[in-house]
Chains A and B, each alone.
Chain A
Amino acid sequence: MFLTYLRRELRRRLRQAIFISLGLALGVGLVITVTAASNGVKNSQSSVLHALYGVGTDLTVTQPAKQGSSAATTFGFTQDIKDIRSGVIAAGTKINISNLSTVQYGILGPAALDKVARQPGVTGTVGGLTLTDATVTGTVPSISAGQGAASYRSSFTTNSFSVAGVDVSNGALGPLSAGRITSGHVLTRREANSDDALVDADYATQNGLKVNDAVDVGGTNFTIVGLISAPQEGNPPDVYIPLAKAQGIGKNGSAGLAHDVDTIYVTAASSADIGSVQREIAAALPSATVTDSSDLASEVTGSLNSASSLANNLGRWLSVAVLIAAFLLASLLTMAAVSRRVREFGTLKALGWPSWRIVGQVMGESIAVGIVGAAAGVGLGFGGAALIDRLAPKLSATVGPVNTASVTGSGRALGTGALKALDGYSHTVSVTLTAPVTVDLILLAVALAVAGGLIAGMVGGWRAARLRPAAALARVD
């Protein structure tokens, strides 16, 4: 009887039922589309941030370089230049000088690494070095009086690439974590002191390098054991060598880097602990800068950021507004339908139908309308998401620009890629926006539509339950 009555009643007011369903469908469709777009934006942001930051890393710790101590301007070639200028290196001498050095960031000794590792809530730490290999090749020119520095410059060729010293004992944390080996193998514990290197796949393509080739890093020939594809959004290092080797051949000005690192990658026990761990490390190392991914997120600007704001603000409120409107519409129309059925419900009460049965009937009808609305809404939501997939323009994410003084002065501490990204220039990447519709999202949408039907049914049912049979019949009789 329940289903027969329900079906017949909905068929009788088919147009109204369709109208309510469409209202709910519109609301649900918008929720799906906006949430899918919002998820897409979040995925894009996450992909950009992971690329910049390193998958699995919760915090990074760095030390700002001491003002005036940086050898960045000469890349460690101070003595060589003096020798050329003073004639110690004779004109006509062919030179090939390679230097591997830290450029902008302060050094964190082994004590700092231990201190960070001992902080409560820290489950993993890995040190790393971010170095620049600079090579100068050419022939020392014969300089006559009156010739300036320009003559020197024209006689030499400079080449530089970035080198990451990575702790091979924990590849899940640090610069290697975001990469994927495309050829060869990843650096292993056994290669911790070897002259083996990984090369960024793009860098290898540009320079015609492949597995088993040699690459000169700081004057040492390293054998390429693998090519790694890291997300290009993060400006990955060009070459990865074992940390111990980087510490052995790298320089900080004229000093060596034995046991030193310039970045500590940290994982926390849980995402909820990140804030407290960040504070504890900052307290333990007062001169260091401790950064989490949200700090980096705040540096990201561009249309990706705008899309995120749009999805989170306008989109969310628009869908909430449409949902509320749909719920109100459904409730009002259900109440109107109940008003038109006063005689019917009065009759049923006269027949001995208890109020709960009448309320159940009204709610059943509303929920059925809600389910139809949910189905249509899911369809609309998929359509909206497909439209976004097809029509959405490429979004850009820009990190910076941040001037070098700011970076070194405040000691901004980000992952390897982020360090480069913030290094005095803005870095813009393009991402394709997709709107993924997940099962959770569909379930949420169905629940919303059914809830809409339920609310409408409860409002209508409450009105029906309140009817006194005599009053209901008197309105007719």
Chain B
Amino acid sequence: MYQLTNVIKKYRKGGATVAALQGVDLVIDDGEWLAIQGPTGHGKSTLLQIIGGLDRPTSGTVEFDGASLTGMRERRVTKVRARSIGFIFQTFNLIPTLSAAENVEAALVPLHVGAAARKARAQQALAAVGLGDRLRHLPSELSGGQQQRVAIARALVKDPKVLLADEPTGNLDEDTRDEIIGLLQRLWRSRGLTMVLVTHDSSVASRAQRLGLMRNGLLSVTKAPT
């Protein structure tokens, strides 16, 4: 699914150049679940954004499904994101003015899905995460766990090939964390997703097939601890 070769990412911060990634090589297979751990500021989120086509490396190549993401025009990368990649964020990132169903529908807008089909698919996706009765609720009317479920429904409603999750349980209590990770695990299995999950939490990382450790912009991948 993914092949990253000598990916380097540098950016300017306060006049100094910071090397967030210093030559990452990585292969992620179809249907694989990779968890990435590491201290804050060592490049985990940067790596996830480059994998997701949200950012471009300073050098190196990123291949996705045989196509070079780094060589693509921005418009094509946007289409790849719209069709094939689902994102989940630590802070949920729901549109505050839209209801749960409308937030999920928002992921289908760039795919030109008709209004009725959008509505039906959003309802199904929300039902799949256990929020079939919260369609019209605004994010502010939902708990943290429920908001993250909406975000998961939004990420999966378009049937992506890849799910990228950046600290998806970082803002949740332990019970809700387990519930969300359990849900993600079920969906990963049932849908055959490729999942890359960045987390600080070892109990979350331990559920992944493989574990990567980011330190000073370098990634070392090991087999899962279990």
Q: Which residues of A contact B (CB under 8 A)?
A: 1, 4-5, 8-9, 11-12, 343-344, 346-355, 357, 468-470, 473-474, 476-477
In the complex, the answer to whether B109 meets A353 with C-beta atoms within 8 Å is yes
**Complex Cα gap A348–B108 (Å):** 11
- Closest residue of chain B to A356, judged by CB? B75
Which among A350, A469, A474, A477 has the highest number of chain B CB atoms within 10 Å? A350
Whether B93 sits at the interface, judged by CB under 8 Å, is: yes
User: When A350-B54, A354-B75 are in contact, do A5 and B97 touch as well, CB less than 8 Å?
Assistant: yes
Cα distance A473–B164 when bound, in Å?
14
B179 interface contact, C-beta 8 A: no
Q: Decide if B45 touches A352 in the complex (CB within 8 Å).
A: no
Contacts A8-B98, A354-B75 known; 17 new A-B pairs at CB < 8 A: A4-B98, A343-B93, A344-B93, A347-B93, A350-B93, A351-B87, A351-B107, A352-B78, A352-B82, A353-B82, A353-B106, A353-B109, A357-B110, A469-B54, A470-B49, A474-B49, A476-B93
**A351→B97 contact, CB < 8 A:** no
Q: In the bound complex, how far is the Cα of B105 from the Cα of A357, in angstroms?
A: 15
Main secondary structure of the interface of B (DSSP, over half): helix
Which residue on chain A has the smallest CB distance to residue B53? A469
B52 contacts across to A, CB distance below 8 A: 350
Complex CA gap A9/B102 in Å reads 13
Which of B55, B89, B93, B115 contacts A470, CB < 8 Å?
A: B55
* Nearest chain A CB to B58 CB, angstrom units: 13
B154 (CB) vs chain A CBs: closest residue = A351
Given contacts A12-B97, A344-B95, A474-B45, contact A349 B78 (CB under 8 A): yes
Chain B hits for A12, CB < 8 A: 96-97
A80 to B105, CA, bound (A): 106
Contacts of A357 in B (CB 8 A): 109-110
The answer to whether A4 touches B102, judged by C-beta atoms less than 8 angstroms apart, is yes
Contact at A473–B106, with CB atoms within 8 Å? no
Contacts of B96 in A (CB 8 A): 12, 344
**How far, in angstroms, from A316 to B28 measured CA to CA in the complex?**
67
**A476 CB to closest chain B CB, in angstroms?**
6
Minimum CB distance partner of A5 in chain B: B98
Interface centre among A351, A355, A357, A473 (most CB of B within 10 A): A351
A351 touches B106 (CB 8 A): yes
Residues in chain A near residue B118, CB distance under 8 A: 1
9 closest A-B pairs by beta carbon, nearest first, are: A352-B82, A470-B55, A8-B97, A347-B93, A352-B110, A469-B54, A470-B54, A352-B81, A470-B49
A-B contact pairs, 10 of them (CB 8 A): A1-B102, A1-B109, A4-B98, A343-B91, A347-B95, A353-B78, A354-B75, A470-B46, A476-B91, A477-B166
A354 CA to B110 CA in the complex, in Å? 7
A352 near B89: Cβ-Cβ < 8 Å: no
Q: Number of B residues whose C-beta is below 8 Å from A?
A: 33
A477 contacts across to B, CB distance below 8 A: 45, 89-91, 166-167
CB of B83 within 8 Å of the partner chain: yes
Residue B79 at the chain A interface, CB threshold 8 Å: yes
Instruction: Give the distance in Å from the alpha carbon of A474 to the alpha carbon of B9 in the complex.
Output: 15
List the A side residues contacting B90 at CB < 8 Å: 477
Q: Which residue from chain A places its CB closest to the CB of B50 in the assembled complex? A: A470
B85 CB → nearest A CB, Å? 8
Bound CA span A351–B96, Å: 16
Chain A: CB-nearest residue to B102:
A4
State A351–B102 Cα separation when bound (angstroms): 13
Contacts of B87 in A (CB 8 A): 350-351
Q: Are B45 and A351 in contact (CB under 8 A)?
A: no
Closest to A470 in B: B55
On whether the beta carbons of A351 and B105 are closer than 8 Å, the reply is no
Rounded to whole angstroms, the CA-CA distance of A5 and B98 in the bound complex is 7
A386 to chain B, nearest CB (A): 39
Rounded to whole Å, the gap between the CB of A2 and the closest CB of chain B is 9
B15-38 toward A: CB 8 Å interface, digit per residue (1/0)? 000000000000000000000000
A12 to B82, CA, bound (A): 27
Known contacts A470-B49, A470-B54, A473-B49; is-contact A352 B79 (Cβ 8 Å): yes
Residues of B195-220 whose CB lies within 8 A of A? none
- Nearest-Cβ distance from residue B96 to partner chain A, whole angstroms: 7
What are the residues of chain B within 8 A of A352 when measuring CB–CB? Answer: 78-79, 81-83, 107, 110-111
Rounded to whole Å, the gap between the CB of A331 and the closest CB of chain B is 22
B95 and A350 contact, CB distance less than 8 A = no
The complex places the Cα of A350 from the Cα of B155 at a distance, in Å, of 10
Kindly list chain B residues whose C-beta atoms are within 8 Å of the C-beta of A346.
93
Q: Is the CB of A351 within 8 A of B55?
A: no
| Most B CB within 10 A of own CB, among A8, A352, A470, A473 | A352
Q: How far is it, in angstroms, between the C-alpha of A305 and the C-alpha of B225 when the chains are bound? A: 93
Contact A468-B55, Cβ < 8 Å, known A8-B97, A349-B78, A477-B91: yes
| Distance between B98 CB and nearest chain A CB, rounded to angstroms | 6
Task: Provide the residues of chain A in CB contact with B46, threshold 8 Å.
Answer: 470
Of the candidates B78, B98, B115, the one having the most CB atoms from chain A within 10 angstroms of its own CB is: B78
How long is the Cα–Cα vector from A348 to B107 in the complex, in angstroms? 8
Q: B45 and A1: CB pair below 8 A?
A: no
Q: How many Å from the CB of A72 to the closest CB on chain B?
A: 85
Bitwise, B106-144 to A at CB < 8 A (1) or not (0) is 110111000100100000000000000000000000000
CA gap between A95 and B100 in the complex, in Å: 108
How far, in whole Å, are A198 and B46 apart by their CA atoms in the complex?
Answer: 96
A351 and B166 within 8 A (CB): no
B109 near A469 with CB under 8 A, answer no
Q: Which of B49, B81, B115, B167 contacts A351 (CB 8 A)?
A: B81
